[in-house]
Structure 1
Amino acid sequence: MNYVQEHAVGAIAWRMLTGDRAKYLGLVFGVAFAVMLMTQQASIFVGLMLRTAAQVIDVTDADLWVMDPRIIYVDETEPLPESALWRVRSVPGVEWAAPFFKALSVARAPDGRLQQVFVLGVDDATLAGAPSRMIEGSVEDLRRPGAVVIDRVGALFIWPGEKGSETGSPRRSDVGRTLEMADRRATIVGTAETSAPFTTFPVVYTRYSEALRFAPPPRKPLSYILVRAQAGEDHAALAARIAAETGLKALPWRQFAWETIRYYLQRTGIPINFGITVILGFVVGAAVVGQTFSIFVLENLRQFGALKAMGVANGTILRMVLLQGAAIGILGFGIGIGMAAAFFEITSRTNVDLRGFFLVWQVAAGTAVAVALIIVGSALLAIRRALVLDPAVVFRT
């Protein structure tokens, strides 16, 4: 078949598809709804899992995390003796090793409001582990006595009703405000943009020595040891060397983040709940598109019969139906992805509880494959009647 004939067949296929606007729009929006549901839920699931490892991901200046061998995820801390820090520092290949403290405490605002917070203590000398994205103030201000840096959204939980940029209204600076933790006064010297934690507790950064005063006194002071490898040092090899020489567990930060995510995947019902929703989106999309597409083909059997009577081969009929399916899939996918992207863009700006959720490109690619399966499957199921159709049906009344 030459180009002119192919073009003519394509034009006929398009006219047949758009001839019944109601069914055409029903097909497109059936795909769009399925795409939006699958993409939105899968992306929220990915964002939720990233939240579980937020405090590992936010530490950008350490290559390895060293911990008690029994720890399996970041929120399960088993303190180490201070001697562990010196043992890690003595391992060949370690450029520096810094203490890192993590604990829960209760912060009291001047108006008496109580709020549970994460207290993260960074190295006094180097400030290793401090937030890298400051909004107000400077990390260096942590060197002041009693100084803390609080995450931007955490401050909204301690002082609710001041949404700031989320509602378009101005918000007063948090710098200079005070909190009381463990009966000691802390002064906010800066605010930082941090990854959203899995639990919605504010995150407070301070120096290691101050953190020991702001949280319930632990029997052992060290939660983790942050390690920077020497230039050219293999991180996995260094982790194995630290484990062999100190008896502690050492993991590259990416591996520790994945172990934390794996813990929540295996120990909670989150994957099942989101998985059911994604599967329902696929099933609903397949059912709506498949049923509507089948009705569309059945209603156009006379047109297909006319084409076969004119000598159009079954292969061309198949290409016509697949072309119609491709048009529906591309339009529906584009609309669905656009709605999902708009959802994340709007909610991330208007609702602080949904910050950190975004449209994951891997999810979009997987959804495109799912849509292709829905379209191809629906087209192949619907085309059977047209392929075995007797052209003489055109001449019957």
Structure 2
Amino acid sequence: MIGILKIAFKLLVNDKGKYAALLVGITFAVFLMVQMTSIFFGILHKSSSTVINVGAKVWVMDPAVNNVANSIPLPDYVLDAVRSINGVKFAVPLYSGGALVKLRSGVFQSVTVMGLDDNSLFGRPELVEGKIEDIYAENAFIVVQDEEIRKLGNPRVGTDFELNDHRGVIVGIAKVTASGLFGIPTLYTTYSRAIQYIPSTRFTISYILVEPKSRDAILHIQEQVRLLGYQALTQEELMQKISNYYKYQTGLGTNILIMTVVSFLVGLSISGQTFYTFILENLEKFGALKAIGAKGRELVYMILFQAMFTSLVGYGLT
């Protein structure tokens, strides 16, 4: 059998041009499938960027919320009720909303504003410039340094702008684990400043961030929040809920799935046709092997070995 496989390998690589064509076909097929799959999972990862960056273990929200970007404000009494639940170490409010800022150049730009709890600043990003204490200064904001920061004119510490007739000043530049999905820059400030600067409804709490005393206390907290008429989800559960929303309630999941299947079929047809032509051109050699005593199953093993070897090399090149 080893001798048969050696012959198969020599037949495969003997004609370098045909072998290169096979590798190109396989590599192209794998590239298409990996590319589309990566785009799909990248989008799902970015859709949960707020959850990942804040890092709270439990999120309290309205049961109708299916996407972290579209929050439903919670009444203030819910925060007090959650804080009184046995097993809660602490609970803080989080503001998350959109705003329109006017840059010094006169350009208007949409931004996402995250309002952190004034006392604890729980969920604050890691700063690469500035000091976190400066967020308490007048008109202070922290900008996230990601691929969207250029839309704000690549601001530095001290850059000012206008938000709803209020002056804002960049006092820090932060980095986060995951950037947003929709290409909108992100600003951080205190909760009180966010609700003061941005017009809002009667209720202003977007989410309540809960730190449980222990992992075992989460189920009890979730049950008590459910009795209040609201929903408490762990970080993993919220990320899964957001993923399900984009996969099943928008056209995103279906479209990416269709594109992935089409990519697979296109790549498979290219590589399959190329390999089929290779086999036809070597029929005489296979016939000669059959004539000198090679068994039919051994010829099948040769073809399977050639296909597997070419696939693995093509996958490796990708």
Give deviations 1:60-118, integer Å, cap 9, x for gaps.
Answer: 1x211111232222122221222211111001110000010111111112222211111
Look up the equivalent residue of 1:45 and give its one-letter code: F
SS in 2 for 1:180: strand
Rounded to whole Å, the distance in 2 between the matches of 1:204 and 1:233 is 34
Alignment match, 1:49: 44
Q: Does 1:117 align with 2:99?
A: no
Relative to its length, the structure with more strand (as a share) is: 2
Rounded to whole Å, the distance in 2 between the matches of 1:58 and 1:99 is 16
Q: Does 1:19 align with 2:14?
A: yes
Alignment match, 1:142: 135
Residue pair 1:104, 1:117 contacting (<8 A) in 2 also: yes
Residues 209-248 of structure 1: matches in 2 within 5 Å?
Answer: 209-244=192-227, 246-248=228-230
Residue pair 2:247, 2:254 contacting (<8 A) in 1 also: no
Residues 126-165 of structure 1: matches in 2 within 5 Å?
Answer: 126-131=120-125, 133-153=126-146, 154-159=148-153
Instruction: Identify which range, 219-228 or 264-273, moves more after superposition.
Output: 264-273
Give deviations 1:114-170, integer Å, cap 9, x for gaps.
Answer: 111111101111001211x322123332222321111113431011xx5xxxxxxxx
Q: CA deviation at 1:218?
A: 2.7
Residues 1-397 of structure 1: matches in 2 within 5 Å?
Answer: 6=2, 8-60=3-55, 62-131=56-125, 133-153=126-146, 154-159=148-153, 174-194=156-176, 195-244=178-227, 246-336=228-318
Relative to its length, the structure with more helix (as a share) is: 1
Rounded to whole Å, the distance in 2 between the matches of 1:240 and 1:72 is 19
Q: CA deviation at 1:48?
A: 1.0
Q: CA deviation at 1:241?
A: 2.4
- The percentage of aligned residue pairs carrying the same residue is 35
Alignment match, 1:381: none
Q: CA deviation at 1:203?
A: 0.8
Rounded to whole Å, the distance in 2 between the matches of 1:138 and 1:259 is 35
What 5-or-longer segments of structure 1 have no aligned partner? 163-172, 337-397
Rounded to whole Å, the distance in 2 between the matches of 1:218 and 1:136 is 34
| RMSD value, Cα | 1.7
Rounded to whole Å, the distance in 2 between the matches of 1:63 and 1:308 is 66
Rounded to whole Å, the distance in 1 between the matches of 2:235 and 2:44 is 16
Look up the equivalent residue of 2:186 and give its one-letter code: V
Rounded to whole Å, the distance in 2 between the matches of 1:217 and 1:289 is 57
What 5-or-longer segments of structure 2 have no aligned partner? none
SS in 1 for 2:171: strand
Q: CA deviation at 1:30?
A: 0.4
Instruction: Identify which range, 312-321 or 219-228, moves more after superposition.
Output: 312-321
Q: TM-score, normalised by structure 2?
A: 0.94
Rounded to whole Å, the distance in 2 between the matches of 1:70 and 1:321 is 56
Aligned positions, number: 316
Q: CA deviation at 1:281?
A: 1.9
Q: TM-score, normalised by structure 1?
A: 0.76
Residue pair 1:152, 1:193 contacting (<8 A) in 2 also: yes
Q: CA deviation at 1:297?
A: 1.8
